[in-house]
Structure 1
Amino acid sequence: MSGDGGSRGGLPDLHWIAVDWGSTHLRATALGPEGVLAEAGSEDGMARLATPKAFEPALLALIGDWLPQGRQVPVLACGMVGARQGWREAPYRATPCAPLDPAALMAVPCHDPRLSLRIVPGLMQARPADVMRGEEVQIAGALAVRPGFDGVICLPGTHSKWVHVSAGEVVSFQTFLTGEMFALLSQVSVLRHGIAAEGWDAAAFAEALSEAQSRPERLAARLFSLRAEALLEGLSPVTARARLSGLLIGAELAAARPYWLGQPVLLIGAEAVAAPYAQALAAQGITAEHLPGAACSLAGLSRLWACL
């Protein structure tokens, strides 16, 4: 937890609370007339909470000290908190549409009378079938920072998303399982024996990236070669880690080419996650602008709050 923790009387200037609730994390920001009053985070993500009844105690453990007695505080929450396995399912909104709609917020009854909670619904696409939760808020935040942007927004992560944005609307999007595949291959598959937990080899990443983009159909074979080279040639685990990343991101970019080719691109996410994508796009002659993910989430929720 960071920032002011409040007191028994809560935060006197508290107007509302922004909550980003993902699968593995819970982040909250207290906001007042002058901006951010306090910030806090925990590992009580959706995946860690067994039942819907566990969500309110997890939230109160994080923000309880901020809440004043005798009045309700509005809370806007986005992310997996609105999933089918979350606190309360918030139905998806169909694209094309604006990333956020105040009228679509899902009110959630709370036991604590100090809480007035509403959940932001995610977005869906019928053909090809696709969904997002949480990214719609980051997209809205990016459009608040870059008004009038028309092009493509890439949100790399566990489930990377490529989003076509035009006239303030999400036109279409495509999700790639790249981050989750990296985790499974490096930690669960046979490749785990030769993949370092950290470290980087920039040259190996660039080589694998180029190979996967030019020959994506060879991905499965090239993945196993990481194991074979470790056994036969002593391939460094750090080099293997970078090559694995390059192969997976290269295959993703090859498949996402209709999105980024000839388009301005915004990257939204943490620097460590966005940097390999920026390098991969630069190799294709595209200079992508990077916006921090947490800042975009807060900007998106703030934009929504201003419309209420």
Structure 2
Amino acid sequence: MSAVPSHDWIACDWGTSNLRVWAMSGGTPVAEAGSDRGMGSLAPDEFPAALDELLSPWGTTAPVIACGMVGARQGWTEAPYVAVPCPPLAPTLTAAPGPRRVLLIPGISQSSPPDVMRGEETQVAGFLALNPGWDGVLCLPGTHTKWVHLSAGEIVSFRTAMTGELFALLSRASVLRHAMAETGASDAFDAAVSETLSRPERLASELFSIRAGHLLEGRSDGRDRLSGLLIGAELAAMRPYWLGQAVAVVGAGAPGRAYVRALTTVCAQVTEARAEAVTLAGLTAAWRTWKMTQDA
């Protein structure tokens, strides 16, 4: 057993592919662990064992506050959606069955147009905790990128774009997979963003030009062009969300940098935030709210 420093609770980010936990002293992480046992690989009755696998070596019985797909209908137990407009964190958490005290943060839903988020609401809450009074739009890049309009501490509306999933499918399972060299051709990315931002109806034909350019001209910028074309088309579709708005990108790595680069060409004000920092800040806000109800 590996003892961890004194802590009050466990923060848990449980997505489709991965599980991450942090031992928390107030709002400060003192230890962390992770595994690839995400929601997508587990049956509902397998969640307690997957969590124990990470927490048992710590010898902790502290309460767990969890966000993400763990609370989906196909997850451990469903944490029902809360409808917009609403604060990002619901006032009530959902208790998961099992020997540990595990509390799940509900997702957010929207009826028109229909949309849902689960996990991103915690990042929204964390961003607001770190940036009190901020109004504008959050862009959360990922497999399914979220655009979230915030005003007066509430989520007013949001939209989801499947750009990350489309990129993965096209780059790995389509004819374009033969033209996906890693080049870092930023000029090609910028030009591709501009193409579909101004003429999104050209997306399908421009995608095939990646294949043709590779065959006929030996071009090696296919990955950058694919990313740029898809993000440009997304920006065109999401124009009401970023036009004239303060925009913050919550992300890390190449996807986050790509969105920041694309947005800086069309937005006067773009800021960045680290995904892990806002996730922990959101989980901390949920824990503090829950703790107040226990102390009352």
Q: How high is the TM-score relative to the length of structure 1?
A: 0.91
| Correspondent of 1:144 among 121, 129, 136 | 129
Question: Taking every aligned residue pair, what percent have the same amino acid on both sides?
Answer: 56
SS of the residue aligned with 2:63? strand
Q: Structure 2: which amino acid aligns with 1:229?
A: G
> 1:67-78 to 2 correspondence within 5 Å?
67-68=59-60, 72-78=61-67
- Alignment of 1:108 onto 2:96: yes
Q: How many residues align?
A: 290
Q: Does 1:82 align with 2:77?
A: no
Q: For 2:30, which of 37, 40, 49 is the aligned residue?
A: 37
Match status 1:190 vs 2:187: no
- SS of the residue corresponding to residue 234 of structure 2 reads helix
**Aligned positions of 1:1-308 closer than 5 A:** 7=2, 10-11=3-4, 13-33=6-26, 35-49=28-42, 51-68=43-60, 72-103=61-92, 105-110=93-98, 112=99, 115-196=100-181, 198-236=182-220, 239-308=221-290
- Relative to structure 1, the CA distance from residue 85 to residue 247 in structure 2 (aligned partners, 3 Å threshold; closer, same or farther) is same
What TM-score do you get using the length of structure 2 for normalisation? 0.95
Distance 1:29 1:130 in 2: 30
Per-residue Cα deviation, 1:262-305 (whole angstroms, up to 9, x for no partner): 01111101142211111111111433110001110100010111
d(CA) in 1 for partners of 2:67 and 2:277? 14
What's the secondary structure of 1:162's corresponding residue? Answer: strand
SS in structure 2 at match of 1:210? helix
Structure 1 unaligned blocks of 5 or more: 1-5
Q: Deviations over 1:60-89 (max 9, x none)?
A: 111212234xxx421011001011111111
The C-alpha deviation readout for 1:42-68, integer Å capped at 9, x for no partner, is 11111122x111111111111212234
Contact 1:178 1:249 in 2 (8 A): yes
C-alpha RMSD of the superposition: 1.4
Alpha-carbon offset, residue 33 of structure 1: 4.6
Unaligned runs of 5+ in 2: 291-296
Please give the secondary structure, in 1, of the residue aligned with 2:16: coil
